Structure 1
Amino acid sequence: MALSDHLRELRGRVLKSVTVILVVLIASLFFFDQVFELVLRPYEAAVEQLPDDVASQATVAGAGGPLMLYLKLCGLVSVVLTSPYWLYQIWAFILPGLHDNERRWTRVFAAIAGPLFLAGVTLGYYTLPKGLELLIGLTPGSLVNLVEFGDYLTFLIRTLLVFGIAFEIPVFVVLLNLAGVLRGESLGTHRPWVVIGTFVFAAIATPSTDPFTMLFLAIPMVALFGISEVIARFLDRRRDARSGLTGLSDDEISAL
């Protein structure tokens, strides 16, 4: 297609996605109480575990704060619930430009990437109370920690995104292997540095500064990296067997 046709198709798919997101946003306003309870639950669980001399209270700032609270929460819910639809629109826009083998692999990784992202988000949600407990617990006993809900929501979203995106790293490792950029043997050689880098990344990426949240992120990442290394080595052996290069050294002179 011509460039103008591609732009018109892109505009149509964006408009469809935005329309569906807005419809779900309006519908989610009727379930605001349930959504609010779900989002506030990690904070309430953290407050219950605080020492007796530490007090904390969630607040909303400004006259327009409650309205923004409704829009932010329902907007977040609509984006999450409609993600299969707008991800499909992105896929449908890119699909015509792919070869048959590329379509096959992208379908496989699309099926794997979604559950991995959701697993990371779920793990981040259940580890969030411990991080909040340690952070709020630093408040001196003579003060009251006022948690502005907008800041808390930003903190929650950032934590969930970090966990979700971190769980996608093994997918990109296997993709690099399929592209011939990264071999499984190379991953095994640099495994100690990868493990150290994973823990450093987890320490920097997690919004809270406690070691527990870091470990909850780093340990599954190391396990997923080990799985991706096994898959990469299997793909390398399969690729070498097909090309007849099994057992040859990288420095060995080719017969050609």
Structure 2
Amino acid sequence: MTSQPAPKKASNASRWRAAKRRKNTDGSMSLVEHLRELRRRVIISLLAFIGGTILGFIWYQTTLPGIPALGFRSIPSLGDILREPYCALPPASRADFSFDGECRLLATGPFEMFMLRLKVGALAGSVISSPVWLYQIWAFITPGLHKNERKWTFSFVTIAVILFLIGAALAYTVVHFGLAFLLTIGDQVQTTALTGHAYFGFLLALLVIFGVSFEVPLIIAMLNIVGIIEYENIKEKRRMIIVVLFIFAAFMTPGGDPFSMTVLACALTALVEIAMQFCRLNDKRRKRQRPDWLDLDDDQASTLGPDEVAAASAPIPRPEPINPSAAPVMPTRPIPTAPPSPSPAPRNQPVNPQTPPAPGAFGGPQGPDFSDVL
């Protein structure tokens, strides 16, 4: 007797493909399936973030080679890129502890350099892996959105990422001027020796504040699209909005220098003005698509437009005569007739008390009979 071979155990990949085929065609999922989908998206995002952090940790002190044949030059190390605004200051404005002319930051603890490199590498890793985790977020929320909602969500996410990068790039450009003001304001009395923790904390805070602040006009546009903010309500408050933006920039810039504050406030003022013009155009487009009579009160009469006035003043056409032969013939039903009344009982006939009187004897439709009296 020959033994049957044992069935092969299905692999994880085959089970995942089988589970994927068993999904409903309409995209509906149970709570457990949603949690499994969320877990898978989070794991993929974490793996991409860890890989990007490792690359950022290596890039912190490594110059990336370029491709001269394609015109790509070598990329400086991440530490040199972030240290460039500080090293661009005059040598007399910064302390030199190595006595070799190199621009270096100061470390005051044994683990400070390692933790600083890890922090900068994690920040670079989040930027490098952003296409992966942004796609995972998009793929998780897309099945629950309609077609127009997917279009708007994709547009807003793309614009938000672009605005954040523009704000961070502007902050990196102006940080040199802010440091030049802050570190040279008393250079005749003292020399600044910045630690890596203090300098990178200042630089990263400025990058994040500029990037997040550039999302304000996008929030205004979103509120206008959903109908919370209208252009008519904010157009008269421009001066107040500008004052609030300058106060916000004064409190949020980490260095407190007037140059960074002015650049951030002016950039936000320009972006908010662009957002307000978008609100004006969007309200005008919405008003064209929505008739005016929908905005009137229930007891208020609507005004007639030119087309309605012309239609109301037009003469009423003469009605055409009805052709009797073409008129439909209605079916007729026979009219019910009343049953014949019974003949009256003969005179001087004894009335049987058990039998009811005949109709018309004492009353009824014909009334009482008084012929014997007359």
Q: TM exceeds 0.5?
A: yes
Q: Structure 1 residues 173 and 67 mapped into 2: Cα distance closer, same or farther (>3 Å)? A: same
Report the more deviating stretch, 63-72 or 181-190.
63-72
**For the structure 1 residues 195 and 172, does the alpha-carbon distance in structure 2 shift closer, same or farther, using more than 3 Å as the test?**
same
Give, in whole Å, the separation in 1 of the partners of 2:106 and 2:45. 33
The secondary structure found in structure 2 opposite 1:147 is coil
One of 56, 59, 62 as aligned partner of 1:28: 56
Q: Deviations over 1:27-69 (max 9, x none)?
A: 3333222100001111112x32x7x4x5446211222222223
Residues 1:42 and 2:104 are matched in the alignment:
no
- Structure 1 residue 210 and structure 2 residue 238: aligned? no
Larger radius of gyration: 2
Q: 1:87 maps to which residue?
A: 134
**Pairing 1:171-210 to 2, within 5 Å after superposition:** 171-210=218-257
Letter of the structure 1 residue corresponding to residue 60 of structure 2: F
Q: Distance in 2 between matches of 1:91 and 1:183?
A: 29
Contact 1:59 1:148 in 2 (8 A): yes
Aligned-partner Cα distance in 1 for 2:113–2:269? 41
Does the Cα contact within 8 Å between 1:55 and 1:143 map onto a contact in 2? no
8 Å Cα contact 1:55-1:141 kept in structure 2? no
- Which range is displaced more, 78-87 or 177-186? 78-87
Superposition CA RMSD, Å = 2.4
TM-score, normalising length: structure 1: 0.89
Partners of 1:204 and 1:123 in 2: how far apart?
18
CA 253–153 in structure 1, closer or farther in 2 if over 3 Å, else same: farther
Distance, in Å, in 1 between the alignment partners of 2:180 and 2:226 is 44
Residue type of the alignment partner of 1:32: Y
Rounded to whole Å, the distance in 2 between the matches of 1:229 and 1:249 is 26
Amino acid at match of 1:89: Q
Cα distance per residue 1:182-213 (max 9 Å; x no partner)? 00121212111111111111111111111111
Question: What's the offset of the Cα at 1:177?
Answer: 0.3
**TM-score of the superposed pair, with normalisation by structure 2:** 0.62
Distance 1:253 1:111, change over 3 A: farther
Distance 2:37 2:186 in 1: 54
**C-alpha distance in structure 2 between counterparts of 1:7 and 1:146, whole Å:** 51
Are 2:173 and 1:145 equivalent residues in the alignment?
no
Quote the residue 1:167 is aligned against: 214
Change (3 A) 1:98 1:190: same
Flag the structure with higher helix content: 1
Structure 1 residues 249 and 199: CA distance shift in structure 2, 3 A: farther
For residues 209 and 69 of structure 1, the distance between their equivalents in structure 2, rounded to whole angstroms, comes to: 24
Which is further off, 228-237 or 65-74?
65-74
Q: CA deviation at 1:124?
A: 0.4
Q: Of 60, 72, 75, which aligns to 2:122?
A: 75
Output the CA distance in 1 between the equivalents of 2:186 and 2:135.
46
- CA separation of 1:186/1:43 partners in 2, compared to 1, >3 Å: closer, same or farther? same
**Residue type at the aligned position of 1:44:** C
Higher relative contact order (CA 8 A, sep 6+): 1
In 1, Cα distance between the equivalents of 2:242 and 2:225?
22
Query: Bigger CA drift: 173-182 or 150-159?
Result: 150-159
Q: Is the 8 A contact 1:139 1:145 kept in 2?
A: no
Taking a change above 3 Å as real, the CA distance of residues 143 and 212 of structure 1, as seen in their structure-2 partners, is closer
Which of 264, 268, 282 is the matching residue for 1:235?
Answer: 282
SS in 2 for 1:145: coil
Give 1:150 deviation, angstroms: 1.4
* Residue pair 2:217, 2:272 contacting (<8 A) in 1 also: yes
SS of structure 2 residue aligned to 1:59: coil
